[in-house]
Chain A
Amino acid sequence: MFSSFDFDVIRRSLPYLFYEGMTFTLTLTALSAFGGLVFGTLIALMRLSGYRLLGRVAGLYVDFMRSLPLVLVIFWFYFLVPYIGQWLTGASRPIKVGAFSSSLITFIMFEAAYFSEIMRAGIQSISRGQPAAASALGMTYSQTMRYVVLPQAFRNMLPVLLTQTIVLFQDTSLVYVLSITDFLGAASKVAQRDGRLVEMYLFAAVVYFTISCIASWSVRRLQARISIVR
């Protein structure tokens, strides 16, 4: 049944798919995960701060982001961010924002909501004696968080954070709706140019599957090692 398929199209487009497509996908994944983790941690700290207003604002943000489909947020940001930028800076025309910046901001904002829930659980998993001991030694709130609570929370949650990053890696393919050349976008461009849709989408699936599988397997091994250390 494969006789009419031309798998050579894959070989010919490999450099384009990986140098351009996969590089973009991995860069976007890494930067979004990092940014999402930083903002997510801040949101988690806001929710656990004990200041009711701060907690409510953070809670609303998380609920809001988690109730919207990602594709919608991507679109919405792409079209709205220039106007928000214009409004913020008081410029006379909409601020031009590149596709990469726009999608990066979107993913950071979106992932922050998910990472914040993970970090919140991580912080709550630390017994109350730990911050008490840090305070008793004279550490301030921020020192206690920075040196005692967050490192432990991060370590406890590392497998979950990495699993969420694997999901993020797959989700970045949605930027293809903005005609960005990520890995899927690149595959799709080649597919349409050469009329080889089945081959290219099949190949893209195999690549996503392989990378995600290896990553999940590594996370499981890491998890086993962490549980032994403790």
Chain B
Amino acid sequence: MIELRHVDKWYGPNFQVLKDCTTRVAKGEVVVVCGPSGSGKSTLIKCVNALEPIQGGEIILDGIKVNDPATDLPKLRSRVGMVFQHFELFPHLRIQENLCLAQEKVLGRSHDEAQAKGMKLLDRVGLKEHAGKYPAELSGGQQQRVAIARALAMDPIAMLFDEPTSALDPEMISEVLDVMVDLAGEGMTMMVVTHEMGFASKVAHRVIFMDQGEIVEDALKDDFFGKPRSDRAQKFLSKILQH
């Protein structure tokens, strides 16, 4: 479904953020990307739907080459859902308008159709009664659940999560993770950048560990948590699981 081959990315001429990154996410697979901050994991996931351009290698999404100038990027992006660290709901629009906007303008659905779809998904994330509110009136956890519903409204073939719980207060993290666990249970293809190792050990099939722009470890979940091969991954795990 998602394939990265020898991906290189530079910021400026001197700083290489991604070094020869190769991995793949199969249909229905949940892959967690972890690593210390600044390791390039967020950058990597943003390259998948070309929010960030790459300078070397190639990325294939559902058989289409992402970094090909001839690719219709808006169309390709509309088929992949993305959830951001800071939610990025549109603050000037009500919740239901947030859910309908791209359905109508990008997919060309009728307003009623988009509305019905939006309400169904809003109900699914448990926020139906908030449809008429503005994003600022919701808590962080609620906003993030709306953001997930907004992405799902596009009927994506895969979902990308960029640290979806990092900006949340601790008591709100589980309500967002619950939605993601459900989604994984339904067989959604997911690539998730997160520090939530509990989530990883529960639903991930594979774990990718990154450090300094490299994919240091790409292992099945049990292998990764059982006995990571690299020193760096061992150190990272011992630090993050200490408490």
Question: Which residues does A use to contact B, with CB under 8 Å?
Answer: 127, 129-130, 132-140, 143, 147-148, 151-152, 155, 230
Contact = CB atoms under 8 A, between A and B. Distances in A.
Nearest to B101: A147
Nearest to B88: A133
B92 A136 contact: no
Given A137-B150, A138-B106, 19 more contacts: A130-B88, A132-B51, A132-B84, A132-B88, A133-B84, A136-B82, A136-B84, A137-B77, A137-B106, A138-B107, A139-B74, A139-B102, A139-B105, A139-B106, A140-B74, A148-B90, A152-B90, A152-B91, A230-B136
B151 to A, nearest CB: 8
Nearest to A154: B92
12 contacts: A127-B86, A132-B46, A133-B90, A134-B90, A135-B74, A135-B77, A136-B49, A138-B79, A138-B102, A147-B101, A155-B92, A230-B136
B87 to A, nearest CB: 8
Contact of B92 (A129, A140, A152): A152
Contacts of A137: 77-78, 101-102, 106, 150-151, 154
A144 to B, nearest CB: 9
B74 A129 contact: no
Contacts of B74: 135, 138-140
Contacts of A147: 90, 101, 105
Interface in B64-119: 73-82, 84, 86, 88-92, 101-102, 105-107
Nearest to B79: A138
A136 B101 CA distance: 13
Query: Is the contact region of chain A dominated by helix, strand, or loop, or is it mixed?
Result: helix
Interface of B: 46, 49, 51, 73-82, 84, 86, 88-92, 101-102, 105-107, 136, 150-151, 154
Q: List the 7 closest A-B pairs by CB distance, nearest first.
A: A138-B78, A133-B88, A137-B102, A136-B82, A138-B106, A129-B88, A138-B77
Contacts of B77: 135-138
Contacts of A151: 92
B196 to A, nearest CB: 21
A145 to B, nearest CB: 12
A11 to B, nearest CB: 48
Contacts of A139: 74, 102, 105-106
Contacts of B79: 138
A113 to B, nearest CB: 27
A130 B91 CA distance: 9
Contacts of A130: 88, 90
Contacts of B105: 139, 143, 147
A230 B134 CA distance: 10
B150 A129 contact: no
A39 B108 CA distance: 29
A151 B79 CA distance: 26
A32 to B, nearest CB: 26
A140 B51 CA distance: 12
Nearest to B147: A133
Contacts of A152: 90-92
Interface hub of B81, B88, B107 (most chain A Cβ within 10 A)? B88
**Which of B84, B86, B91, B151: most chain A CB closer than 10 A?**
B91
Contacts of B88: 129-130, 132-133
A143 B92 contact: no
Contacts of A134: 90, 102
Nearest to B153: A137
A137 B80 CA distance: 8
B56 to A, nearest CB: 22
